[in-house]
Chain A
């Protein structure tokens, strides 16, 4: 697929308006790659001036910082900020709430000042502005969809409405889980838990959350975070419910409806 790379654009004399920060999950994780591709499809279709960093992108340092490895976080932050400032990046969009939070809240005091926007907000804006035109009879029309709040989007950054209005734009019926918005239950991946086994307990966090999801009877659970997506996908598989309910990112919902 056609994906503009920042360094190549620069050598062609172009300065893209927006950087799409893909993130490690979006780059390497097979499931998350389809979210990335879905978002690229939308960006290409809308015709926005953007590029990705490609092989120059590095981990933001989010998992290292939250695990307690501040040295490593600062190393990653320094290198990323140098690169971004060198390219004179002004605006960044990302589909990962963890990257979003780090870029938006943690990089400024280290010298990285950018306008950072999460893809849920950008999708909402593009729908509102009429740049994204959804199919009249989209695949999700009338479908029961529930939305799982990512901690790093919701409680961490107070973004609750943008992803929901994206879902509502599909003419779907949005059903809430019993724990939602500021009371939403974590998927279990944050704080670098994604990269290690859980501590001893009597249940896995993603299974606990999956039971909330299944309780709604929705046919789609939408997420706006690649890590939540993985956690819920696993949870639903373990419940053997993958025929009844799909886990889809809001970018995938839109990409399948244009």
Chain B
């Protein structure tokens, strides 16, 4: 029986890890569909961003209450997963409370800390559920979040609560069995579990068999839940638990106002003005098209951004266009980018050639009207807690529209004409530039 459980555990563990790795490999492949962009310079600054923005969650602290609760769930969740080491060891080797033997003096302290954290995580998750579903926080109630995205958040919160409950209930059953002198529990004396022992009155009347069963069921449900969660996470907005770290590392270090240069265009203009500087024959390959129409025209960092997005909507809540009722929503830009990448992912999985699927990020997922409304104010970039830059994508899509499609609003066409002919966006001639100097003060 024991050995059967061990084998079953091994199979489940390997399967779960296999599917998770496969999924992560696909995500990596999808991210790398994006264009190359070197973001490895200044490693010290980058690590600092990881420490401050990802680990320290600095931007979250614009709202300290939410930040503390979030930190609780996150820290609690990560730390409690140390317990996973023990569970995996016990599962594979058929041991019981593996760490107790390793750390006899600290074990009680360790598990009690986990229990306290578990209780706090449950508390925070309940508050988040209430906040999300009963209190109208505007950014969590937009129509972008109907359907799966809104369920996603609730599912995760509920799963976390259930996992923490299972952990506590397992401990409660274990300590009761110890009190009743049942092996192997009795000779693995853990000391008092301060939180889970509060559940004892509920379980006091359980028979020994029920207690044993409860302990085993909780143990199994807990580990199965965690493995399922791991796989679920990779499909959900909760991927940010993992990707927030690389995303902070690779976030841009330049001032937000600087727009990414296009060296190909720079060179073309240079050769137009200085033909002698042009290289003999066209040795450097010009990009096939300018700007971005689909996700593979974006930089890989834009795609990493899309997979890291938590759909929290802080960007959209800060966006001046969105606040005044325009269609543009930077969160939707990120969700659309991920959705298109996922669509390509599922085509790759089914071995369907996606490059000729006649679909693209621009038009099929994001409309012209949306990206036109952007004031490039950087409010979205500033607001994002996981270092995402929706503006970068918007500018790339605008570049495609103007440079490849010559599609621009009438007023912009006149503006371009003015700049070209008069060197100013308005219709004034260059010699009118100093008319003001001729007036008195």
| Chain A interface (Cβ < 8 Å from any Cβ of B) | 1, 3, 5, 22, 24, 27-29, 33, 36-37, 40-41, 52, 54-55, 57-59, 61, 63-72, 74-76, 78-79, 82, 101, 104-106, 109-110, 151-152, 155-158, 182-183, 185-186, 188-205, 207-209
**Given A68, A155, A203, which contacts B395 in the complex, CB threshold below 8 Å?**
A68
Q: Which residues of A contact B401 (CB under 8 A)?
A: 68
Residue contact A69 to B402, C-beta cutoff 8 Å: yes
CB neighbours (8 Å) of A72 from chain B are 416, 419-420
A69-B403, A69-B416, A106-B258 given; A193·B423 CB < 8 A: no
Shortest Cβ distance from B371 into chain A, in angstroms?
9
Contacts of A65 in B (CB 8 A): 259
How many contacting A-B pairs (Cβ < 8 A)?
215
Given contacts A1-B437, A28-B424, A71-B265, 13 further A-B contacts (CB under 8 A): A1-B439, A29-B426, A68-B401, A74-B265, A74-B269, A109-B261, A110-B261, A155-B381, A194-B425, A196-B409, A205-B320, A208-B324, A209-B320
Q: Is B82 at the interface (CB under 8 A from chain A)?
A: no
Asked if B424 contacts A157 (CB within 8 A), the reply is no
Query: A58, B423: Cβ atoms under 8 Å?
Result: yes
Contact B433 A66 (CB under 8 A): no
Residues of chain A lying within 8 A (CB to CB) of residue B439: 1, 33, 37
Q: When the two chains form the complex, which single residue of B254, B269, B325, B412 contacts A192, counting CB atoms closer than 8 Å?
A: B412
Cα distance A57–B377 in the bound complex, in angstroms: 26
Instruction: Check B411 for interface membership: any CB of A closer than 8 A.
Output: yes
Is B318 located at the chain interface by the 8 A CB criterion?
Answer: yes
C-alpha spacing A155/B59, complex, angstroms: 14
**Given the contacts A3-B437, A28-B424, A78-B270, A186 and B375 also touching, CB distance less than 8 Å:** yes
Find chain B residues with CB under 8 A from A189 CB: 375
Q: Contacts A5-B434, A57-B433, A68-B395 given: A195-B425 contact, CB under 8 Å?
A: yes
Contact between chains at B290 and A70 (CB < 8 Å) = yes
- Hey, what's the 0/1 contact readout for B244-272 against A, CB within 8 Å counting as 1? 00000000001111110110011011100
CA A76 to CA B381, docked complex, whole Å: 27
* Interface membership of B358, Cβ < 8 A: no
- Interface-centre pick from B266, B270, B411 (highest chain A CB count, 10 A): B266
Does residue B431 face the partner (Cβ distance < 8 Å to A)? yes
State whether the Cβ of B359 lies closer than 8 Å to any Cβ in chain A. Answer: no
B434's nearest neighbour on chain A, judged by CB, is A54
Judging by beta carbons under 8 Å apart, are A74 and B266 in contact?
yes
Expressed in whole angstroms, the minimum distance between the Cβ of B392 and any Cβ of chain A is: 12
Most chain B beta-carbon neighbours within 10 Å: one of A59, A69, A78, A151: A69
Q: Write out the residue numbers on chain B whose beta carbons fall within 8 Å of the beta carbon of A191.
A: 374-377
Contacts of B433 in A (CB 8 A): 22, 27-28, 54-55, 57
A66 adjacent to B376 (CB under 8 Å): yes
The 10 closest A-B pairs by CB, nearest first: A156-B257, A68-B398, A202-B325, A191-B376, A201-B325, A68-B402, A186-B377, A58-B423, A196-B411, A105-B258
| Residue numbers in A under 8 Å from B436 (CB-CB) | 27, 33, 36-37
Instruction: Say whether B269 contacts A71, CB under 8 Å.
Output: yes
Cβ A155 vs Cβ B256 within 8 A: yes
Bound together, the chains give a CA A192 to CA B323 distance in angstroms of: 19
B381 contacts A106, C-beta separation under 8 Å? no
B234 CB–A CB distance under 8 Å: no
Could you tell me if B379 and A186 are in contact, using CB atoms closer than 8 angstroms? yes
- Report Cα–Cα, A27/B270, bound state, in Å: 28
Known: A37-B436, A76-B423. A208 touches B323 (CB 8 A): yes
Chain B residues positioned under 8 Å from A71 (CB to CB): 265, 268-269, 403
Q: Are A158 and B326 in contact (CB under 8 A)?
A: no
> Would you call A195 and B415 a contact (CB within 8 A)?
yes
Q: Is the CB of A59 within 8 A of B425?
A: yes
In angstroms, Cα B436 to Cα A65, docked, is 27
Distance of B91 from chain A, by nearest CB (Å): 48
Residues from chain A with a CB closer than 8 A to the CB of B258 are 101, 105-106, 156
The docked-state distance in angstroms from the alpha carbon of A5 to that of B255 is 31
Question: Binding site of B, secondary structure by majority: helix, strand, loop or mixed?
Answer: helix
Please tell me if the beta carbons of A199 and B321 are within 8 angstroms of each other in the complex. Answer: yes
Q: Which positions 354-376 of chain B face chain A at CB distance < 8 Å? A: 369, 372-376
Inter-subunit contact A155/B321 (CB<8 Å): no
Instruction: Tell me the minimal C-beta distance from B322 to chain A in angstroms.
Output: 9
- Determine which residue in A29, A55, A72, A199 has the highest number of CB atoms from chain B within 10 A of its CB, and name it: A199
The residue that A28 contacts in the complex, of B379, B397, B412, B428, with Cβ under 8 A, is B428
Asked if B146 is at the interface of the complex by the 8 Å CB criterion, the answer is no
Q: Tell whether, in the assembled complex, residue A199 and residue B412 are in contact, meaning their CB atoms are under 8 Å apart.
A: no
Residues of B within 8 Å of A198, CB to CB, are 324, 326, 373
Whether A105 contacts B269 by the Cβ 8 Å rule is: no
Q: How far is the CA of A49 from the CA of B249 in the complex (A)?
A: 44
- Given B269, B379, B419, B431, which contacts A151 in the complex, CB threshold below 8 Å? B379
Residue B400 lies at the interface, judged by CB distance under 8 Å to chain A: yes
Does B430 touch A at the CB level, under 8 Å? yes
Nearest chain A residue, comparing its CB with the CB of B254 = A105
Shortest C-beta distance, A249 to chain B (Å), equals: 14
B426–A106 touching, CB < 8 Å: no
Q: Which residue of A lies closest to B327 (CB)?
A: A199
**What are the residues of chain A within 8 A of B430 when measuring CB–CB?**
55, 58
With A109-B261, A203-B325 known to touch, is A41 a contact of B441 (CB < 8 Å)?
A: yes
Say if the beta carbon of B236 comes within 8 Å of chain A: no
B328 beta carbon closer than 8 Å to chain A: yes
- B150 on the A face (CB < 8 A): no
Known interface pairs A193-B375, A197-B411, A199-B369. Does A185 touch B257 (Cβ–Cβ under 8 Å)? no
Give Cα distance in the complex from A151 to B256, angstroms. 10
11 A-B pairs whose Cβ atoms sit less than 8 Å apart in the complex: A24-B425, A28-B432, A37-B439, A69-B408, A155-B257, A183-B382, A190-B375, A195-B425, A198-B326, A200-B326, A205-B320
Enumerate chain A residues within 8 angstroms of B265, measured Cβ to Cβ: 70-71, 74
**B327 touching A200, Cβ below 8 Å:** yes
Whether B399 sits at the interface, judged by CB under 8 Å, is: yes
Q: Which residues of B contact A209 (CB under 8 A)?
A: 320
> Which of chain B's residues have a CB closer than 8 A to the CB of A64?
415-416, 419
Q: Is B148 an interface residue (CB 8 A)?
A: no
Q: How many whole Å from B255's CB to the nearest CB in chain A?
A: 5
Q: Does B95 contact A (CB under 8 A)?
A: no
Is B398 in contact with A157, judged by CB distance below 8 angstroms?
no
